[in-house]
Amino acid sequence: MIFAGLYNRVMRWAAHPHAERYLVGVSIFESIFFPIPTALMVAPMAVAKPDKAVRIALIATSMSVLGGVFGYYLGYFAISAIEPVLHDVGYWDKYMTAHRWFEEWGFWAVVVAGFSPIPFKLFTISAGALSMALLPFVLAAIVGRSAHFFLVSLLMAWAGPKMEPVVKKYIEWLGWATVVLIGVFIYFH
């Protein structure tokens, strides 16, 4: 169970007094290589402090876009060094899928990846490897990541603590269902 184990770990981080610092780190590194989705930290933080939901979403968005720029430059300058790592960690097939989507949809692939639980890092690296112009990449990342993090943060702040047990119970199912829905949308669009 991928999403459930990560969720439990991030729940502990979200309760920590330095949770916003952790959110900065998770947001940056998740856009480059870190396997834990930032939204799994945003959600419990927004439940714990609903009055800070907008701040939490802003931190996650800005730091995720910053991490995305690092990922972009890794793809741009070091794709040949990164490709063996993608093979070793089992991301090669996902990277190739991201690569194909990116070639076909460009800007919109980054927006969709930024909004969805699809590993954003694969699209940041692909954008750089395929030499997408930096400004459209950043704009697409801002649109996708802000839509994602504001939706998660504001929904969790609004729903409050009663929503957290439901999310925890169905996190695995919700994560994979979202991935499938986005895949179907992209396939038929």
pLDDT of residue 185: 66
Question: pTM for the whole thing?
Answer: 0.76
- Write down the pLDDT at residue 40: 79
pLDDT for res 1: 66
Give the pLDDT of the chain (189 residues) as one tens digit per residue. 667 776 677 677 777 889 899 899 989 988 887 777 888 789 888 988 888 999 999 999 999 999 999 999 999 999 888 888 878 877 788 888 877 887 888 888 888 888 877 778 888 888 998 889 999 999 999 999 999 999 999 998 888 777 777 777 877 787 677 667 767 766 765
Rounded Cα distance between 160 and 38, Å, is 19
Residue 9 has a pLDDT of 73
pLDDT at 162: 76
- What pLDDT score does 150 carry? 96
